[in-house]
Amino acid sequence: MWVVVLMTLGMVLLGACAAPSPSLHLRYVDLSHTLTQDMPHLPNTTATHIERTRDGTPHTLTLALNNGTTLHLLAAPDPVTGAVDRGWTVERLSPRDLTLPAVVLDLREQAQDPPAYPITAADVQAWEQQHGQIPADALVLFLTGWDVHWGDPAAYLNLAPEQQLGVPHLHPTTLDLLRRRKVRGIGIDSPLISHEPPRAPPNGWLLLTNLTRLEQLPATGTTVWIGVLKLQGSPASPAMVRAVRPE
């Protein structure tokens, strides 16, 4: 009798494995730009340079840390001394630090005009009215559609005569709101988080710039993995950012 029971149980388990639940179907999205020699680079930074062998294989790369899709670490100042922890650098990040639940705010309509659209706290609150309050420890991704300009460096940077970037960015009040929400990180598909230097919450912030394909992600339900160069003593690194979402 027990043999029959065990065989029946085994068949049930095999059947479950052979027919996975549709809820397990996932879609993977690359949120990173490809590194190329002619990609945009910020004013007063080194342009990307790739030396290749005769057959075209790259062998030497010169790259500013904020060229391409980039992770920036923003440590919080000490509440007493005001000093910033210079020891919080990319080689100290664990895989858990770089795996984050994400929410996506689609602001493409608002960011069409003006180009240098300041994303406001009201934009975030309007999203929360529809989807609920942004959870603590989330990565908040701002979809503006600015990545469509990536192939035209002049249009992507949209520099004013004083070399200020005329691109979508976060208003200081938005940073204040996200600080109160205790989010873990912020990402945007433009080269700029904010014109004002952000002030991080006590546990610091992970900031991602120059993202792409955010339109392929839902408002909630995405997990993001961030790959970085394990560069000693650096608060920033070129990043490979991948997302997984329910299909």
E strand or H helix that includes residue 175? helix 172-181
Beta strands in 31-175 (DSSP E): 49-52, 58-62, 70-74, 99-106, 118-119, 139-143, 169-170
* Of 80 and 213, more confident: 213
Tens-place pLDDT, residues 9-66: 344 333 444 444 455 689 999 999 999 999 999 988 899 999 999 998 998 999 888 8
Where do the domains of the chain lie, and which CATH numbers do they carry? Answer: 23-246 (3.50.30.50)
The pair of three-digit structure tokens given for residue 44, joined into one six-digit string: 């007063």
Give the pLDDT of residue 82: 66
Give the pLDDT of residue 14: 36
